[in-house]
């Protein structure tokens, strides 16, 4: 028993030295500040507007993923190898160029879709979305900056910067929302995005200089795309799997009040993202550095996968127990209808996260294509199930579909991962 305890303590220390606890603490503070702002915003706005914000966020999240072309992932992978600082800077600037050019094309597309009513049949979303979509540019750029910090394993510095910026941004968001309601929120969100980009600083000056002279090192483009293409497809499939209920609800459920309660529950569930982002930002470069030795990679995966399962089960239980009474107390009944949705969504979300260490380990090993196959398999099987459940049973069908899709994704990911291990050890 003593040996087991000492081993666990040593492992905790090892994880801490990689920056996890510092990053998690900083991200925890960032989340508390950000979550607090969302609660203030939810208290100021009506549930209908909370639903509208979440729907617009999902569209921008999807667009940002497409706009990055997976170059943020390939930047982490390639920069984690033994590279000179000049080469890493060239890759960062090239990634920023891709993100900037894609913004122009995607924004024009989103503008047309919004004005033709294809983004939503809600007239309020249609009128505000072109302004909200400007948030896409800083989001694209920031994803490359964060990837750089990940690759350099400079997570502590990044977390400190993000915390300060978040505090300032929250004050601006709450103030603008209080004064101008939903319109104020939409107007200020892009400004806070640019604050984050300028505060992280990494790559901006060099990028501007190269942009003016058009002197980018395109020799890295083919190699970066080789990693990025499957990372893009895998993340795209995973995001659609995780958010398809929101798209279907946007078009199939007419009661915007009920939609608002459901979207508020999803907002509450976003708190789990602290753990997801912290684990991924620390683990991905670490697994990448272990990829030269299969035995070392496998031992690392086996150890952290067990920890990952335990952590997510505990998080789910604590969330179901603690969040509902908090919501009842904080909002005096205003969002009580969100509690039932939150409980079911917690179960579905946890099923999605249980296998995340498999995905991180495969990315570190360079097997981005396998993550794409498992995400796509889960998406193709779940898509018709979730659609018909929502069409037939509305929001009740959505939460059931979320649990089913989480279970299907878990099984698909597990199956493909085991096939990889069998072929690797033959």
Of 273, 232, 190, nearest to 65 by C-alpha is 232
> 114-146: string of b/e by CB count within 10 Å (b at 16+)?
beeeebbebeebbebbbebbbbbbbbbbbbbbb
Integer CA distances (angstroms), 153 to 13, 158, 202, 389, in order: 17, 10, 14, 44
Query: 167 pLDDT exceeds 90?
Result: no
Q: pLDDT (tens digit, 9 = 90+) per residue, 304-325?
A: 888 888 888 988 999 999 999 9
Q: Give the range among 81-85, 263-267, 269-273 with minimum mean pLDDT.
A: 81-85
Average pLDDT over residues 83-94: 82
Sign of CA dihedral 210, 214, 220, 224: positive
Nearest to 181 by CA among 269, 55, 53: 53
Q: What is the predicted pLDDT for the residue at 8?
A: 47
pTM of the model: 0.82
pLDDT in tens, 120-134: 989 999 999 999 999
Residue that wins the pLDDT comparison between 228 and 5 = 228
pLDDT at residue 415 is higher than 80? yes
Average pLDDT, the chain: 83
Selected residue with higher pLDDT from 300 and 47 = 47
pLDDT score for 76: 81
Predicted pLDDT at 31: 60
Q: Calculate mean pLDDT across residues 240-254.
A: 92
Quick: pLDDT tens for 348-388: 999 988 888 888 888 778 787 888 888 899 899 999 999 99
Report the percentage of the chain scoring pLDDT > 70: 85
Mean of pLDDT values over 101-130 = 93
Quote the tokens at residue 179. Answer: 């004064």
**What percent of the chain clears pLDDT 90, i.e. is strictly above it?**
38
CA distance 200 to 270: 23
CA atoms of 361 and 418, how far apart (whole Å): 13
* CA gap 43, 21 in Å, rounded: 32
58-77 pLDDT, tens digit each: 999 999 999 888 888 888 87
Ramachandran region, residue 117 (left: φ > 0; alpha: ψ -120 to 50; beta: rest): left
Model pLDDT, residue 354: 87
With cut-offs at 50, 70 and 90, classify the pLDDT of residue 181. very high
pLDDT tens digits, 184-211: 999 999 899 898 888 877 667 777 777 8
Q: What's the confidence (pLDDT) of residue 50?
A: 93
5 has a pLDDT exceeding 50: no
Give the model confidence (pLDDT) of 8-55 as tens digits.
445 544 544 444 445 555 555 566 666 667 778 888 999 999 999 999
**Length of the chain (residues):** 426
The listed range with the strongest mean pLDDT (100-109, 232-241, 279-288) is 100-109
Residue 241 has pLDDT above 60, yes or no: yes
What local confidence, expressed as pLDDT, does residue 269 receive?
87
Q: pLDDT value at position 205?
A: 75
């Amino acid at each position: 028993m003593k040996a087991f305890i000492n081993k666990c303590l040593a492992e905790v220390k090892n994880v801490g030295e990689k920056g996890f606890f510092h990053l998690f603490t900083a991200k925890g503070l960032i989340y508390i500040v950000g979550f607090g702002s969302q609660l203030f915003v939810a208290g100021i706005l009506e549930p209908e507007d909370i639903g509208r914000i979440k729907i617009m966020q999902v569209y921008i999240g999807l667009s940002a993923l497409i706009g990055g072309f997976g170059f943020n992932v390939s930047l982490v992978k390639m920069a984690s190898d033994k590279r000179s600082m000049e080469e890493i800077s060239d890759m960062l600037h090239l990634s920023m160029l891709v993100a900037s050019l894609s913004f122009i094309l995607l924004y024009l597309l989103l503008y047309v879709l919004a004005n033709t009513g294809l983004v939503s049949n809600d007239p309020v979303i249609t009128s505000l979305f072109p302004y909200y979509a400007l948030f896409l540019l800083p989001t694209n750029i920031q994803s490359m900056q964060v990837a750089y910090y990940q690759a350099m394993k400079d997570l502590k510095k990044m977390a400190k910067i993000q915390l300060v910026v978040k505090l300032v941004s929250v004050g601006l968001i709450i103030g603008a929302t209080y004064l101008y309601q939903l319109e104020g929120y939409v107007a200020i969100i892009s400004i806070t995005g640019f604050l984050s980009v300028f505060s992280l600083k990494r790559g901006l000056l060099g990028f501007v200089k190269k942009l003016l002279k058009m002197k980018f090192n395109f020799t890295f483009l083919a190699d970066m795309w080789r990693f990025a293409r499957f990372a893009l497809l895998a993340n795209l499939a995973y995001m659609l799997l995780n958010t398809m209920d929101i798209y279907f609800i946007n078009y199939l459920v007419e009661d915007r009040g009920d939609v608002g309660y459901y979207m508020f529950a999803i907002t509450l569930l976003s708190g789990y993202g602290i753990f997801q982002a912290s684990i991924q930002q620390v683990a991905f470069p670490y697994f990448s550095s272990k990829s030269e030795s299969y035995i070392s990679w496998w031992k690392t995966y086996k150890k952290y996968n067990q920890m990952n399962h335990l952590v997510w089960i505990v998080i789910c239980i604590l969330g179901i127990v603690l969040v509902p009474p908090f919501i009842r107390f904080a909002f005096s009944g205003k969002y009580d209808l969100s509690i039932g949705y939150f409980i079911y969504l917690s179960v579905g979300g946890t099923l999605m996260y249980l296998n995340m260490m498999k995905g991180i380990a495969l990315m570190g090993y360079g097997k981005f294509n396998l993550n794409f196959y498992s995400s796509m398999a889960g998406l193709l099987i779940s898509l018709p199930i979730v659609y018909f459940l929502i069409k037939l049973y509305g929001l009740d069908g959505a939460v059931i579909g979320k649990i089913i899709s989480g279970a299907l994704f878990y099984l698909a990911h597990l199956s493909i991962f085991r096939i990889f291990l069998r072929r690797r050890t033959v």
